[in-house]
Amino acid sequence: MRQYLLKRRLPRKIKEKEERKEHPQNKDQSCKSEDAEFLNEADDAGMYWTDADFTCLAKAWVTTSVNVNDRTKGFTFYQKVNIAFNGDPECPTRRSCGSTKSQWYALNAQCVVYKRIVAQKRFRNSSGKTEENRENDAHKIYKGLNGGNDFKHREAYKILVWEPRWANLRDDGLNHVVNIPRNVARRTSDNSSPGNSVRSNNLSEDPDDPPTP
């Protein structure tokens, strides 16, 4: 019985070997793709994200968002963000696609909270204070909501706030300026420096979709 089963399996194995001989590039491409993803994930495993990393991530997001169309799928969009990030000579560390995507959620959530605080200060103090004074007040408010941790992403925020596609994102879940959710400001990403990044489910845009103009 065993010999009979071996005879039945043999032709299939021979056929698979012949196919690999005829199209060796197919195997090589799939292996390279898998290896590249594995290596990328290993490259930044356990490495903290610095302020410079987040600034580069903001630039990569802006660069990608202005160069994609409405038909771009979320997965493709974040692949392009990762390519732009790793292609920036100012980026201190190469990161995987999964890492840049998850840290973008954290960066975006924190910057959205800060944006709402700044908007509140502008509304309440429309006169008598300079923009610098309003920002200082916003930092104090954010620090109070974030367990004493200051807003760390000033440079990244300055890049994002001037990009209409980010500034006009829907603030779903963060529409109440007065009541800024404390859980948004307190959750710290496991893969970033302490006090540097927050993780939140109340993102301003669908995480898997690219920005819309």
Say yes or no: 99 and 203 in one domain: yes
Say yes or no: 10 and 73 in one domain: no
Say yes or no: 33 and 54 in one domain: no
pLDDT at 76: 84
- Is 58 or 177 the better-scoring residue by pLDDT? 58
Say yes or no: 68 and 117 in one domain: yes
Q: Does pTM top 0.75 for this prediction?
A: no
Which of 133-147, 164-178, 179-193 holds the top average pLDDT? Answer: 133-147
- Is 198 or 88 the better-scoring residue by pLDDT? 88
Say yes or no: 54 and 8 in one domain: no
Q: What is the dihedral of CA 113, 114, 117, 119, to 10 degrees?
A: -100
Amino acid at 34: E
Say yes or no: 13 and 84 in one domain: no
* 43 touches 94 (CB < 8 A): yes
Percent of the chain with pLDDT over 70: 52
Say yes or no: 61 and 33 in one domain: no
- pLDDT > 70? residue 70: no
What's the structural domain count of the chain? 2
Q: How is residue 192 annotated by DSSP?
A: S
The arithmetic mean of pLDDT across residues 7-25, rounded, is 50
Length of the chain: 213
Say yes or no: 107 and 207 in one domain: yes
pLDDT at 190: 41
Say yes or no: 127 and 39 in one domain: no
Question: What is the domain range of residue 105?
Answer: 49-213
